[in-house]
Structure 1
Amino acid sequence: MLDVIKVIILGIVEGITEWLPVSSTGHLILVGNVLKPSMSDAFMEMFDVVIQLGAIMAVVVLYFHKLNPFSPRKSHKQKMLTWQMWIKVLIGSVPAGIVGILFNDILDEIFYKPLPVAIMLIVYGVLFIVVEKHNAGKKPSVTKISQLSVQMLLWIGFFQMLALIPGTSRSGATIVGALLIGVSREVAAEFTFFLAIPAMFGASLLKLIKFGFHFTGAEFGLLMLGCIVSFGLSVIAIKFLMGYIKQHDFKVFGYYRIVLGALIILWTIIQTVIA
């Protein structure tokens, strides 16, 4: 029963932090270190990634019409634009896809720890504040996904690739990259959601293959529970973020990241001294 409660908490953390630019993986590592579920380290490493499937299904459900090129409610032109959008998503996914396949295990081994997470939280927190101040008063040059060029897509894809380092935040990195080239906050956030579909499905598949699909009944049940909880909270988080950025910028998330990163560093120092 205790592990069920811990998994629900982890699902809540994933659902909220996956779409807010504050690093879901970073939060899961930190919360997991505090909760210390009784499952194996290998299972928890896989769990932290695979429960993202619940989060990504929230995007599919909320944006199903926009993502569906076969919708009978769309005209021929709208269907072609939807296919064009999917091509843009695939182009933007190339950098992270290549690096993730080649170096995923190495990156996890080096950076899947509290201190690197804290450093990346602070670095991108500062970037959010700097970029938003730089863009203050400027009119975005891109207000529709259809206006994104191949060069812009690869630039955004490069920033998504940087998010393979835990603590960076996939949504945070891609949003920062998009804002730097003049993309509006709404388009930056929405395109980030769509980029997550192949990225997170691919990452989950890699982790499942590495784990070997060897689940006990209890482990499978806990994994499904985590996915369901993360789905429900993701729906709420996505709606909140899209409503929030219509009236506000991303600086508050930058300040949050800096404070959290500093607290993690302090906590790590205290733990080291105590040990």
Structure 2
Amino acid sequence: MTNALEALFLGIVEGLTEFIPVSSTGHLLLIGHFIGFESAGNTFAVMIQLGAVLAIMTVYAARLSHVVRAAPHDPAARRFLISVLVAFLPAVFIGVLAHDLIKTVLFETPRLIALMLILGGVILLFVDRFAPEPKHEDAMRLPLSVALRIGFVQCVAMIPGVSRSGATIVGALLMGVGKRAAAEFSFFLSIPTMLGAFTYDLWRNRDVLDAGEAGMIAIGFAAAFVSGLCVVRWLLGYISRHGYAVFGWWRIGVGCLAMTALTLWG
């Protein structure tokens, strides 16, 4: 029962933090470290992200369906789909090559995660205030060169604590993408990225997953889906009005708290 409640709690945390630039994986790994939650092959934090992906697909279902239907005869729709694919490709190659390092070393280094939260928070505060004047306000019309560069920046988030959404949003802002458009493109890019990570991790760990582990993942998955729906519907409006500063301060606070706890209790 305890494990089920822990999985439920971690799933809620995943959904609440996946699409804001605070590192959902960093939060899950740090919380898991302090409460003693264990997952075979460190799969839990990766695989429950699929719940958050389905939340995005639910919110944008009509828009995505329209784009896919229009792609055969609409150059703009095709260009958008290609831009997401181009941005996704760097994560495919680097993720496959670095998978073992990420799961066996970086996922097991809480101090690194805390440090990345703090450093990422400082960067986010700076970029939120001093980003160049936006040149691209439509997430579905980004130049392919911009999309590719955002894709490479996303790969930095393979270090837990960096934040996939944080890396893509900061990269987009520095490339002249507006705040709302940066968040939306990060949403769209999360779909192939996290589907790919889920599928690859499931395949790599197919021999260590048992019924108990699958049950914990299912609970976390459902919780991530519900909480993710709430965040996505709220986030774009908040960003448009207030920017990203609050998330930078949140990262710094959580990172400092984690570093203090690690120093005191290990």
**TM-score range for the pair, normalised by the shorter chain length:** over 0.9
| 1:152 matches 2:149 | no
Output the TM-score relative to the length of structure 1. 0.90
Choose from 225, 236, 244 the match for 2:230.
Answer: 236
| 1:64 matches 2:56 | no
**CA–CA separation in structure 2 for the residues paired with 1:178 and 1:233:** 25
Residue in 2 that maps onto 1:104: 99
Q: CA deviation at 1:214?
A: 5.2
Native 8 Å contact 1:69 1:83 kept in 2: no
Native 8 Å contact 2:54 2:225 kept in 1: yes
Letter in 2 for 1:121: L
Residue in 2 that maps onto 1:42: 40
Letter in 2 for 1:52: Q
Native 8 Å contact 2:137 2:178 kept in 1: yes
**CA–CA separation in structure 2 for the residues paired with 1:75 and 1:105:** 37
**CA–CA separation in structure 2 for the residues paired with 1:108 and 1:178:** 27
**CA–CA separation in structure 1 for the residues paired with 2:190 and 2:207:** 23
Cα deviation digits, residues 221-253 of structure 1 (max 9, x gap):
222121111000000011121120121110111
Find the structure with the greater CA-based Rg: 1
Q: CA deviation at 1:145?
A: 2.5
| 1:266 matches 2:242 | no
Choose from 211, 220, 224 the match for 1:217.
Answer: 211
Q: CA deviation at 1:170?
A: 0.1
TM-aligned CA distance change 1:18 to 1:243, over 3 Å? same
**CA–CA separation in structure 2 for the residues paired with 1:82 and 1:75:** 5
**CA–CA separation in structure 2 for the residues paired with 1:196 and 1:47:** 18
Output the TM-score relative to the length of structure 2. 0.93
| 1:190 matches 2:184 | yes
Q: Sequence identity of aligned pairs in percent? A: 38
**CA–CA separation in structure 2 for the residues paired with 1:53 and 1:146:** 23
| 1:246 matches 2:240 | yes
SS of structure 2 residue aligned to 1:167: coil
SS of structure 2 residue aligned to 1:247: helix
Residue in 1 that maps onto 2:51: 54
TM-aligned CA distance change 1:83 to 1:255, over 3 Å? same
**CA–CA separation in structure 1 for the residues paired with 2:67 and 2:140:** 18
Native 8 Å contact 1:132 1:250 kept in 2: yes
RMSD, aligned α-carbons:
1.9
Residue in 1 that maps onto 2:24: 24
SS of structure 1 residue aligned to 2:158: coil
Native 8 Å contact 2:134 2:178 kept in 1: yes
SS of structure 1 residue aligned to 2:242: coil
Deviates more, 1:26-35 or 1:8-17: 26-35
Deviates more, 1:108-117 or 1:87-96: 108-117
Letter in 2 for 1:110: V
SS of structure 1 residue aligned to 2:134: coil
Give unpaired runs (5+ residues) of structure 1: none
In the alignment of these two chains, the number of paired residues is 265
Letter in 1 for 2:159: I
**CA–CA separation in structure 1 for the residues paired with 2:67 and 2:249:** 42
Give unpaired runs (5+ residues) of structure 2: none
**CA–CA separation in structure 2 for the residues paired with 1:59 and 1:46:** 21
SS of structure 1 residue aligned to 2:8: helix
**CA–CA separation in structure 1 for the residues paired with 2:255 and 2:209:** 34
**CA–CA separation in structure 2 for the residues paired with 1:208 and 1:76:** 32
**CA–CA separation in structure 2 for the residues paired with 1:168 and 1:121:** 6
